[in-house]
Chain A
Amino acid sequence: MFSFCTDPQSLEGAAWLACYLTTGKHLDFYGAFGTVLLLLAVTAPVALLFGFLAAMAARARLAPLRWLGKGYMAVVRGVPDIAFFLFFVIALDQAIEWIRHKILCPDWSEPVYQGNDFVVCPAAKMPLSSAPQWVHDTYSFTLAVFTFAIVFGAFAGNVLFGAMRAVPRAQTETAEAYGMSRRQAFWRILVPQMWIYALPGLSNLWMILIKATPLLFLLGIRDIVYYAKELGGMKTQAYAYPHPDWRLWYFLALLVFYLAFTKVSQIALDRLMRRLNRGQATLGGQSGGAMS
């Protein structure tokens, strides 16, 4: 990176550190923090959408749809989330390849499950084995986003379902008295009012989501945990920058990153809560203090 970094052996002290911290791999490491933020930025709205659909399904008048929504929320929340991460990554991948296999190779006669193997025709591989590296990376990242969204959608669905029920019944009754249909009352009265009730639960969920991001490592993504393990491990004299086992310091840095991130989120969410509470007929809104 710097001009004086050409010969690492001759460097000492601060210059060595400056060069060490700007190697290509370290720059990838810093980029991985961007991956985490990108994951959060994409997953949060998608999970919210999943949650909204689940909450709508759980309120539906059609019984099977109601069971589907409630079952989804109950099962995902009753089982450790890490199991779902491990499960969905394989299951989604196999589902996609199986569908492509059925469409692209209709005259393939052998079964897909052969003993202990899952075999589809080469054209149905996802992504194709000839595809460049970035396609593979994007594909696995998309699968990860989808997995996170499925798991956290169930949590969000639970929060939103509770929030919809927390809106005073009189509000919808008034809407019905004005002649609104069920659909109109839902979109015009219930949905705009439910957010204030949903916000404490959703902000808690945001915190859990932040703290779940290191699990990307388990999904085979080169995230910050991967690089911390890679870079921190002992480097012998064969490497340009030899150093003893520094993994402790790398993980300490990750810890500090997460502490700062959750702290900043906490402050921002508290502010948002105070702002939304202003003028509401709730305890937090009337006393002027923050509701926690």
Chain B
Amino acid sequence: MTCWETLHAYGLRAIGIGERLLPRSDFDLCQQFVLIGSGLLWNIYFAVFALFFGFFLATAVGLGKSARRWWIRKPSELFVFVFRGSPLFIQFFLFYEAFVLLPKMGIDIPLGFTEITMETRWLTRAWLGALIVLILNTAAYSGEIFFGALKSIPKGEIEAADAYGLSGWKRFRRIIWPTMLRLAWPAYTNEAIFMLHATTLVFFAAFPAWRQEGDALYYASYFADKTFNPFIPYPIFALYFIILTLAITYVFGRINRRLNRHLPQEEHMRLKYRPKFIR
């Protein structure tokens, strides 16, 4: 097989397009590059959607933790405590078992005038079930980051907003939220990198890889198991992830520049590729 044919056969194997059987013998370098690269699609899918949905939930959690009413504050604190205090690995197992126990056929939710049927069988699949766990997990970590940023918003900015007659939603949307994002952004970049790395856990925890459609690490360990040679697939995997990490740093750095564009140039907090892993 030439490399071009391999790319055709396995380029989108991770999402079920192309050759059905994985290569079984005579592994070459091209196959490993292509198949591990196709698994990367899953990592990108999980990271992008978890960060996107998690962002909104995290904003709500951050605001909830700083709320004055106890019945908003306490649930937010509990949520953050549970998801930050326990391993993601255990969370995957716990949620998977819970999803499996749900009735197979679907839950009927009566809405008075009509009934909607919620399909539960998708929840045991990685693309939805694992995504939900990742969203909740990243929401807890980012929620804590946003909470810290909310607390360090300069008092003068809020007083100025009051003086201009801004209040409620308008004050939040125009003053508090942008400042919170600006202060939280370096730590949030860190969290995004960590979330990308956490996506590799999905197929090694409870969620099964359906029809051998797995992520990059799934295929890397497949090759390592078959060839008994870990020195080729894992470095390929590492190379892909370093490139992805650099891409995240670049994108988040651009956003950081935009968030800080009103400040004097020297005060720009430059983002560097220097993950500190504060989790």
- Chain A positions within 8 Å of B, measured between CB atoms, are 75, 77-83, 86-87, 90-91, 94, 113, 116-118, 155, 158, 201, 204, 207-208, 210-215, 217-218, 225, 228-229, 232, 245, 247-248, 251-252, 254-255, 258-259, 262-263
- B90 lies within 8 A of A207 (CB): no
- B229 lies within 8 A of A118 (CB): yes
For A217, the chain B residues whose CB sits under 8 A away are 89
- B241 lies within 8 A of A78 (CB): yes
Task: Tell me the nearest residue of chain B to A155, going by C-beta.
Answer: B277
Task: Tell me the nearest residue of chain B to A216, going by C-beta.
Answer: B89
CA distance A158 to B274 in the complex (A): 10
Task: Tell me the nearest residue of chain B to A217, going by C-beta.
Answer: B89
- B224 lies within 8 A of A83 (CB): no
- Chain B positions within 8 Å of A, measured between CB atoms, are 25, 27, 81-82, 85-91, 93-94, 97-98, 100-101, 196-198, 200-201, 204, 217, 220-221, 224, 226-231, 234, 237-238, 241-242, 245, 273, 275-279
- B231 lies within 8 A of A262 (CB): no
- B217 lies within 8 A of A208 (CB): no
- A211 lies within 8 A of B217 (CB): no
Contact of A87 among B87, B89, B198, B234 (CB under 8 A): B234
- A251 lies within 8 A of B275 (CB): no
Contact of B224 among A86, A204, A211 (CB under 8 A): A86
CA distance A263 to B85 in the complex (A): 7
CA distance A171 to B149 in the complex (A): 33
CA distance A18 to B196 in the complex (A): 44
CA distance A31 to B168 in the complex (A): 55
Contact of B231 among A79, A91, A248 (CB under 8 A): A91
Query: What's the nearest-Cβ distance from chain B to residue A148, in Å?
Result: 14
CA distance A86 to B233 in the complex (A): 11
CA distance A259 to B79 in the complex (A): 12
- B229 lies within 8 A of A245 (CB): no
Q: A245-B101, A248-B98, A252-B94 known; A83 and B88 CB under 8 Å?
A: no
For B277, the chain A residues whose CB sits under 8 A away are 77, 155, 204, 208
Contact of A83 among B25, B101, B200, B279 (CB under 8 A): B200
For A218, the chain B residues whose CB sits under 8 A away are 204
CA distance A251 to B95 in the complex (A): 9
For A215, the chain B residues whose CB sits under 8 A away are 89
